[in-house]
Structure 1
Amino acid sequence: MRSKLRLDSRWLLPFAAAPLLGATPPQGVDVFVTVSNMRSDKGLVSACMAHLKADFPDCRGPGGQDLSVPADKAGRFAFRNVAPGRYAIALLHDENANGKIDKALMIPTEGFGFSRDAPVRMGPPPFSAAAFEVAERDVSQPIRMRYIL
């Protein structure tokens, strides 16, 4: 003899009513970035925190968060309410605040840095070299700014 399981939707009522009763949905954690080795406090520090490999290092797609911080206040800043997952951060010290990385003969003349101090060879590091995990607790990422010229 087969018995059919019949779902009674009344058991969902407490869950559906939770937002109405003041319950708040879970929030993400904060990712704190500490920047060292800045050569000046001029301009802006542009930061990209990418969740997808395709969005790293410049946050062109929907899987990234970007923000700009005045260079004189860029010693420590945070990405807020970050969902759990794998992320990588890229920084640019845009000293003249023109919104792009300036180059001389294809070599950056402004500073840059990456999470996990990912090594730079001929261009930015791969996402995997800079990636770190975000879980249930706030995360700190120290990033050393580098200047070639």
Structure 2
Amino acid sequence: MNLKSKSVLIAATAALAALMGGGAALAGDVTITVTGVQARGGDLLVGLQTASQFLKHEGSYGQIIAAPTAGTHVVTLRDVAPGDYSVSVLHDVDGDRQMKMANGRPAEGWAMVNGAALRAAPRFDRVKFTVPAAGVAAVSVAMQYPPAS
């Protein structure tokens, strides 16, 4: 191999290493499938929260589905940085952008990873998922609704 070939090979190897993890982590897409949505009016608020944002009125990424129909809805959030997140879905029927509570329980539809198994207030470590360094992830969450009144 001549000197020019070695230089090209070294430059190509260095560029590949930077893309494969030698540089900053790349962002990617997260696809969230929300099942069991009921047609109750209002908006469906879908968001990702980091551990420091968890259960607060803030988030890193999100989308609103206006007047969702019954069934399954798929949301793709773009350019999500690698890391641990929770998925928070709120069926905001009354439009106040907050979870309405009644007798200490949610009075509006909601969803999280492992939400059906929760028997107490959620903890981040029980409802998180990881967006890998490759930056692509898919999560499915099932809506939980209080009885219709």
The answer to whether the superposition gives a TM-score over 0.5 is: yes
Residues 45-82 of structure 1: CA deviation (Å, up to 9, x unaligned) = 1123112x22113353xx63333222427701122101
Residues 68-127 of structure 1: CA deviation (Å, up to 9, x unaligned) = 22242770112210111111111111123222222222322210110244632232x111
Deviation, 1:148, is 2.6
| Aligned amino acid, residue 128 of structure 2 | A
- The equivalences for 1:56-95 within 5 A come to 56-60=54-58, 64-72=60-68, 75-95=73-93
Task: Provide the residue aligned with 1:40 in structure 2.
Answer: 39
| Number of residues of Structure 1 aligned to a counterpart in Structure 2 | 122
Runs of 4+ off more than 3 Å: none
Indicate how the Cα distance of structure 1 residues 99 and 56 shifts in structure 2: closer, same or farther if over 3 A, else same. Answer: same
Tell me if the contact between 1:83 and 1:134 (Cα under 8 Å) persists in the aligned partners. Answer: yes
Q: Residue 129 of structure 1: SS of its match in structure 2?
A: helix
Long gaps (5+) in structure 2:
1-14, 16-23
Long gaps (5+) in structure 1:
1-14, 16-24
| Aligned amino acid, residue 46 of structure 1 | L
1:50 aligns with 2:49: yes
Indicate how the Cα distance of structure 1 residues 79 and 59 shifts in structure 2: closer, same or farther if over 3 A, else same. Answer: farther
| Percent sequence identity over aligned pairs | 24
Indicate how the Cα distance of structure 1 residues 147 and 134 shifts in structure 2: closer, same or farther if over 3 A, else same. Answer: same
Q: CA RMSD in A?
A: 2.5
Indicate how the Cα distance of structure 1 residues 118 and 127 shifts in structure 2: closer, same or farther if over 3 A, else same. Answer: farther
| Aligned amino acid, residue 109 of structure 2 | G
TM-score (norm 1): 0.69
Question: How many Å separate the matches in 2 of 1:108 and 1:116?
Answer: 16
